[in-house]
Structure 1
Amino acid sequence: MDGNENMDRGPARSGPRDSLFLLTNLSSVDGTPLGRARVRNLSATGLMADCERAVPAGTRIRFDLRGIGQVNGSVVWSREDRIGIAFDEEIDPQLARRPISAQAGQASVPDYLRQRRLIR
């Protein structure tokens, strides 16, 4: 591995990251839409995402994450359509992985995906 390969990576990250695939809409903190993003990995302190358009480093940003709600942060690195965001406050990334149910008391798995016991 030569020294140039490390230059393609973002800054060193701390803490474990979960790989996943979530969609969200990015906006600046003043509400200006910045396009959709696919969250590729998520930690308590930040994320990496593919964006539908470039978002420059230094941009203050806000977005909603499933199971967590609104998150604010800053773009700390940007390369073409990929960005790294550092959150203003730590989150629990496991909340984004939990199934979402439509209403309390309803099963979180749709009926057609449930395994059924066969009566013999």
Structure 2
Amino acid sequence: MDDEQDISDRGPARAAPRDSLFLLTTLTTPDGAQLGKARVRNLSATGLMADCERAVPSGIKIICELRGIGPVAGSVAWSREEKIGIAFDEPIDPQLARKPVGSGAQKANVPDYLRMHQRGTIRR
């Protein structure tokens, strides 16, 4: 693929540095409608790019479940076939998605300021 094609396939310019990775997630609407599974290809503090099981329209509100972070709310900023870009409502720490998920005993050692990123707290 040439450079011009590669650039045109990307979404809008990103403000935050992004980290390439391969992470599975589930997508839902805020009211709980299932939108399927997706493979996160890159992740930043302000959003992500993913390959989805099926097309997801741009402009809709969405919640994605990210390992090590939990449910994160955002909007589909762009959509091209089964690829989407999501802009998060609030910034996250993308490095948390790379850390191993521990047992309940390890969670007790997590500082209070990081507990807001754990499962069960939706960042809106």
TM-score normalised by L of structure 1: 0.80
Residues 38-57 of structure 1: CA deviation (Å, up to 9, x unaligned): 11100000000000000010
Identity %: 69
Letter in 1 for 2:56: V
Instruction: Say whether residues 1:45 and 2:49 are aligned partners.
Output: no
Matches within 5 A, 1:76-95: 76-95=77-96
Q: Runs of 5+ in structure 2 lacking a partner?
A: 107-124
Letter in 2 for 1:34: L
Q: Which has the higher helix share?
A: 2
Q: Runs of 5+ in structure 1 lacking a partner?
A: 106-120
Aligned equivalents of 1:56 and 1:103: distance in 2? 37
- The equivalent residue for 1:32 is 33
Aligned equivalents of 2:24 and 2:82: distance in 1? 14
TM-score normalised by L of structure 2: 0.78
Instruction: Say whether residues 1:75 and 2:61 are aligned partners.
Output: no
Residues 14-55 of structure 1: CA deviation (Å, up to 9, x unaligned): 121111111111011111000000111000000000000000
- The equivalent residue for 1:101 is 102
Say what the alpha-carbon RMSD is for the aligned residues: 1.7
